[in-house]
Structure 1
Amino acid sequence: MTSVRPKLKPDQPKGVTAWETATGRVVWMAEDGSWSDDPARIGVFTGDEAEARLAAAEGQEGIVTDPYFMQVAEDGAIDGRETLRETIRANGPTVHPEFQRSSQ
């Protein structure tokens, strides 16, 4: 399963994000290739390495669902034209404080 997202240039810093298949939680690929539900651990990838990381994520369908690139700054902060969407994914629903992520 894939979602159409804006195409990012090869030299643009990217993170890989997905949903954890078992729980439905938002996860991000860390620098070491593991998955974390902590947005502070977003790995920053560019060029061929980014493409290889996304391909690896797509091969982990039993662990994660719908992996895709998201634009990040060089320090891993959420950035770019989908900042609002990705910020909501990182912090939880905006409908009521009781539903927000408690780990933030």
Structure 2
Amino acid sequence: MTSVRPKLKPDQLKAVTAWETATGKVVWMADDGSWSDDPDKVGVFSGDEAEARLEAAAAQEGVVTDPYFMQVTEDGNVDGRETLRENIRANGPTVHPQFQRTAK
């Protein structure tokens, strides 16, 4: 399962995000290739490494669903064209505070 999204340029910083198949939670690929639901553990990739990470994520279909790139800054914060969407994925819905992620 994939969604068509605009391509990011190879030199742009990216993170790989997906849904954890078993739980439906939003997850991000960490630097070590594992998946985390903690937005503070986002791995930042670019160029060929980013493409290889996305390919590795796609090969994990069943563990994760619909992996794709999101544009991020060097420290892993959401950046670029899908900022609102990705902030909602990271922090929870904006409709009511009870649905937001809790602070750790």
TM-score category, normalised to shorter length: over 0.9
If the length of structure 1 is used for normalisation, what is the TM-score?
A: 0.96
Correspondence 1:53-72 to 2 at 5 A:
53-72=53-72
Stretches (4+) displaced over 3 A: none
How many aligned positions are there? Answer: 104
What's the CA shift string for 1:53-85, capped at 9, x where partnerless?
000000111110000000001111110010111
If the length of structure 2 is used for normalisation, what is the TM-score?
A: 0.96
Tell me what 1:22 maps to.
22
Runs of 5+ unmatched residues, structure 2: none
Tell me what 1:43 maps to.
43
In structure 2, the CA distance between the partners of 1:38 and 1:46, relative to structure 1 (3 Å rule), is same
SS across alignment from 1:66: strand
What's the CA shift string for 1:21-47, capped at 9, x where partnerless?
000000000000000001111100011
Query: Over the residues paired in the alignment, what is the CA RMSD in angstroms?
Result: 1.0
SS across alignment from 2:52: helix
Q: Distance in 1 between matches of 2:83 and 2:24?
A: 21
Q: Distance in 2 between matches of 1:9 and 1:71?
A: 10
SS across alignment from 2:53: helix
Q: Distance in 1 between matches of 2:95 and 2:44?
A: 30
Percent of aligned positions with the same letter in both sequences?
81
Runs of 5+ unmatched residues, structure 1: none
Equivalent AA in structure 1 for residue 75 of structure 2 = D
SS across alignment from 1:90: helix
SS across alignment from 1:93: coil
